[in-house]
Amino acid sequence: MKAFEKLVDAAKADYYPVVFFGVFGSLADATNRDRVRNPFVYDRLKDSAVAPVLGVQWKFNLGITAGKVEEVEAELGKIQQKHALAEQGIPFQVRQAYLEVQQHQANIEATRKGFRSGRQWLVTAVSNFDLGVGPGKDVADAAVAYAKLRAGYFQAIYNYNLGLVKLDHAAGRDVAMVQPLLPPPPHKR
Amino acid sequence: MHMTYRWVGVGALLSSLLLVSSLSTAQAGEPQDKVRETVDAVLAVLQEKSLQGPEHTEKRREKMRQSVFQRFGFEEMAQRALGPHWQKRTPAEKKEFTTLFSELLERSYINKIESYTSEQKVLYTKETIEKDGYASVRTEIVVKRDANVEVEYRLLKRDGNWQVYDVVIEGVSLVNNYRTQFNNIVSQESYDALVKKLKLKIEQERAASPTK
């Protein structure tokens, strides 16, 4: 945005004349010519001169400068609008990321209970099968359910950790600074 | 799945025998000491080089059995597992049932015990001693790449000796589970049908294991 502000200033500068001052000097001494000491005769190949120069440059381009200024101001306006929109959106993104983290936290607790239940089912099925009072099919069914529930539980933990990273990104703060603001996840209590 | 079988088998009765090392988070009382003694004894058998290898399987299992049988009250477990049907049995039937029950538990889990790895450790997390001669020792089996397994040993002091009468794995009491199963079979079929199932399972185990 600062770059475009400078561009606007540069475009507006063309409205004003450029005044310059300089010193002009010349020294020439050709070997095959005679020096003429008549002040009204100037031989550029055999003479020396020093003179101050004051000049003014002013562009008269019939509205082209105005057009350029308006073009750059329009670009600056676009950048300023984008900046304002981004600033308005940040609180929304942070809140959204925070709510997602809370949801993932709740999912961890729910899947943890399912995971434990799956384990209990497997323990029961294997114990019964080992004593010959339960069918092998029960063990297979319990093992499949356990595997699925276990995967769901660890997926929930993964999603929670990913949510923390997104919250960090949205808030622009380090994860270590964000995490103390949240209650500890259920599986670590 | 294989890992699940492993810890389930150990935890059911002889889970303490998976240990490579055990850590206590608090000063241990007598029940915890007794459990730990059994663990260390079985561990010593498993690590004994002269007993390793398939040719020493029966000798190795016999030594483990001696250590385990000192700590586990199989008759008490069998009585609790049979529940209300125990009182109706004759002394001979009670003896037969206890023998079948003990043998099945020992057979079913000894293979899993022997397959323990040095990556698994047990933490002794809590010990509770009640005034009426009951106690419980809570442990956690630390498993890599999976959640810890909670195993609780329930003990009863009889004739000055602490004996395990139940093992609770992840909240599932084995004695209660067996009681439910045995009650269903006895109620829907008969006690003889239950005994027949247990004997059939032992025959299958013996057929699958060439050492016995």
Each residue of A11-54: pLDDT tens digit?
A: 888 888 888 898 988 888 888 888 888 878 878 888 888 889 89
- Residues A98 and A177 occupy one common structural domain: yes
- Greater pLDDT, A92 or B199: B199
Domain boundary among A64, A79, A98: A64
A67 within 8 A of A84, measured Cβ to Cβ: no
**pLDDT band for position A158 (cuts 50, 70, 90):** very high
A124 within 8 A of B177, measured Cβ to Cβ: yes
Residue A119 lies in a domain: yes
- Residues A98 and A20 occupy one common structural domain: no
> Residue B209 pLDDT > 50, yes or no?
yes
- A98-113: per-residue pLDDT in tens? 888 889 999 999 999 9
> Residue A73 pLDDT > 60, yes or no?
yes
**pLDDT band for position A148 (cuts 50, 70, 90):** very high
> Residue B35 pLDDT > 60, yes or no?
yes
- Residues A179 and A95 occupy one common structural domain: yes
**pLDDT band for position B210 (cuts 50, 70, 90):** low
> Residue A176 pLDDT > 70, yes or no?
no
For A6-140, strand residue ranges (E) read 18-27, 48-57
- Residues A176 and A108 occupy one common structural domain: yes
Residues of A in contact with B197 (CB under 8 A): 132-133
- Greater pLDDT, A170 or A184: A170
Task: Report the amino acid identity of residue B22.
Answer: S
* Cβ pair B178:A130 closer than 8 A: no
- H helix or E strand, kind and range, residue B104: helix B91-114
CB neighbours of B117 closer than 8 A, spacing ≥ 6? none
A53 within 8 A of A23, measured Cβ to Cβ: yes
- Greater pLDDT, B42 or A109: A109
Residue A138 lies in a domain: yes
Residue A70 lies in a domain: no
Give the C-alpha separation, A79 to A51, whole Å. Answer: 49
Nearest to B201 among A120, A131, A143 (CB): A131
Mean pLDDT to the nearest integer, B157-169: 89
Residues of B in contact with A115 (CB under 8 A): 147
Mean pLDDT to the nearest integer, B32-55: 83
Q: Which domain holds residue A6?
A: 2-64
Inform me whether the C-beta atom of residue A150 falls under 8 Å from chain B C-beta atoms: yes
Kind of pairing between the strands at B121-129 and A18-27: unpaired
ipTM, interface predicted TM-score of the complex: 0.78
- Residues A53 and A139 occupy one common structural domain: no
Q: Which domain holds residue B84?
A: 2-208
Angle of the B174-188 helix axis to the A64-130 helix axis, nearest 10? 60
Give the C-alpha separation, A101 to A183, whole Å. Answer: 11
Looking at the complex, report in whole angstroms how far the Cα of residue A6 sits from the nearest Cα belonging to chain B.
Answer: 59
- Reported pTM: 0.65
> Residue B19 pLDDT > 60, yes or no?
no
> Residue B165 pLDDT > 90, yes or no?
yes
**pLDDT band for position B106 (cuts 50, 70, 90):** confident
Residue A26 lies in a domain: yes
B141 within 8 A of B18, measured Cβ to Cβ: yes
Nearest to A120 among B5, B109, B171 (CB): B171
> Residue A94 pLDDT > 50, yes or no?
yes
**pLDDT band for position A157 (cuts 50, 70, 90):** very high
Least confident of A52-66, A114-128, B46-60, B106-120: B106-120
Residue A174 lies in a domain: yes
Mean pLDDT to the nearest integer, B83-107: 91
> Residue B9 pLDDT > 60, yes or no?
no
Which DSSP state fits B98? H
Mean pLDDT to the nearest integer, B112-138: 80
Q: Which residue in B2, B3, B4 has the most chain A C-beta atoms within 10 A of its own C-beta, making it the best mutation to test that interface?
A: B4
CB neighbours of B52 closer than 8 A, spacing ≥ 6? B60
* Cβ pair A133:B9 closer than 8 A: no
Mean pLDDT of chain B: 81
- Residues A48 and A99 occupy one common structural domain: no
Give how far Cα A155 sits from Cα of A63, A161, A164, B14, B89, Å. Answer: 65, 10, 14, 32, 51
Domain boundary among A23, A46, A64: A64
- Residues A96 and A184 occupy one common structural domain: yes
Mean pLDDT of chain A: 84
Nearest to B169 among A123, A128, A132 (CB): A123
Q: Is B162 helix (H, G, I), strand (E, B) or coil?
A: strand
Q: By a Cβ cutoff of 8 Å, what residues of chain B touch chain A? A: 1, 4-5, 8-9, 11-12, 101, 104-105, 108-109, 146-147, 149, 169-172, 174, 177-178, 181-182, 185, 194, 197-198, 200-202, 204
Residue A111 lies in a domain: yes
pLDDT given at position B68: 81
Determine if residue A172 is left, alpha or beta; phi over 0 gives left, psi from -120 to 50 gives alpha, anything else beta. left
Give how far Cα A30 sits from Cα of A25, A33, B30, B131, Å. Answer: 17, 6, 121, 128
pLDDT given at position A188: 46
Residue A30 lies in a domain: yes
- Residues A111 and A180 occupy one common structural domain: yes
Place of tokens 């809590």: B126
Q: What is the total count of domains within chain B?
A: 1
- Residues A43 and A97 occupy one common structural domain: no
**pLDDT band for position A153 (cuts 50, 70, 90):** very high
- Residues A45 and A98 occupy one common structural domain: no
Nearest to B198 among A116, A127, A131 (CB): A131
Give the C-alpha separation, B93 to B87, whole Å. Answer: 10
pLDDT given at position B16: 43
* Cβ pair A131:B108 closer than 8 A: yes
- Residues A152 and A98 occupy one common structural domain: yes
Closest Cα in chain B to A123: B8
Q: What are phi and psi of B72, to 5 degrees?
A: -100, 130
* Cβ pair A133:B182 closer than 8 A: yes
Residue A73 lies in a domain: no
B31 within 8 A of B135, measured Cβ to Cβ: yes
| CATH code where residue B62 lies | 3.10.450.710
Looking at the complex, report in whole angstroms how far the Cα of residue A116 sits from the nearest Cα belonging to chain B.
Answer: 7
Mean pLDDT to the nearest integer, B37-66: 83
B1 within 8 A of B55, measured Cβ to Cβ: no
Nearest to A122 among B4, B109, B146 (CB): B4
pLDDT given at position A66: 83
Number of C-beta neighbours around residue B202 at 10 A = 19
- Residues A99 and A170 occupy one common structural domain: yes
- H helix or E strand, kind and range, residue B24: strand B22-24
Q: What is the total count of domains within chain A?
A: 2
